[in-house]
Structure 1
């Protein structure tokens, strides 16, 4: 599947890491698909941060408002891009540690299964076991579900 997204970018050189983290949280809570930062060198050899926001076109305005409200930026660059994405579904699976969600994605016979981090972390904390053990159990349960689903197609 192909879809059009918007990429917003701005640089700041006078904000604390906490303020940038808060801005990222606000963007994600308001529909940004992803937000990431990179350290950059700016004019006059100042250290700065490049903030990049990826969002659907209908969320562009709200993401711009958040960037202007929460950062010291004076301008935002934007561009539209096409991206190919895998079809995806989220399913809940049962493991010996409890239930957790897995994201299943596919295209043209290719499948991938990714355990949801928050669910796995919660189970790891409550059972006092390594996160990787939980993630492996959840992925294995997801693979079993996938095999059942394939057999029923």
Structure 2
């Protein structure tokens, strides 16, 4: 594993695009969500809400780069039942990150490390790698995740002791 990187948090601006829908099936909502992600949304999430007169609805929230805002807005307007969207610019602070490869008894897993003030604050194994190894080796997904974290901690302790 590489030595400690000189990293800090990053600040940028993104656009939040949102709309409420109360007349759209769950299947269409899931499809729209997939389309938004495939088109370049940074993230998409759904929130159950109650609208006027107690009507259940879903708030669709899209996180977007400024450059993708128009494209994603058009997709929402064309592919969902909404008649309009709201959007606003927000500041976003995120951890600097890098990726490492971790050797496990089942194969290699990529893991993302997050840095704040030059210190590792988070280590997250990549889901798709863990899922692939869990399925191929018929072990619980949780076991693969835990093993990756243990291997990283063991390797870091050996690096410190060297």
**TM-score, normalised on structure 1?**
0.89
What's the offset of the Cα at 1:83?
1.1
Segments of structure 1 that go 5 or more residues without pairing to the other structure are none
Report the 3-state secondary structure (helix = DSSP H, G, I; strand = E; otherwise coil) of the residue aligned with 1:44.
helix
Task: Trace 1:26-41 onto structure 2 (pairs within 5 A).
Answer: 26-41=35-50
2:26 to 8, 17, 32: 17
What's the offset of the Cα at 1:94?
1.6
What's the offset of the Cα at 1:36?
0.6
Q: Counterpart of 1:79?
A: 88
Q: Counterpart of 1:45?
A: 54
Segments of structure 2 that go 5 or more residues without pairing to the other structure are 1-9
Kindly indicate whether structure 1 or structure 2 has the higher relative contact order, using CA contacts under 8 Å at least 6 residues apart. 2
User: Is 1:121–2:119 an aligned residue pair?
Assistant: no
- Give the whole-Å Cα distance in 2 for the aligned partners of 1:62 and 1:84: 24
- Give the whole-Å Cα distance in 2 for the aligned partners of 1:4 and 1:143: 34
Number of residue-to-residue matches in the alignment = 151
- Give the whole-Å Cα distance in 1 for the aligned partners of 2:147 and 2:46: 32
The root-mean-square deviation of aligned C-alpha atoms, in Å, is 2.0
Runs of 4+ aligned structure 1 residues displaced above 3 Å come to 141-151
Report the 3-state secondary structure (helix = DSSP H, G, I; strand = E; otherwise coil) of the residue aligned with 2:68.
helix
**TM-score, normalised on structure 2?**
0.85
* TM-aligned CA distance change 1:103 to 1:150, over 3 Å: farther
* TM-aligned CA distance change 1:32 to 1:145, over 3 Å: farther
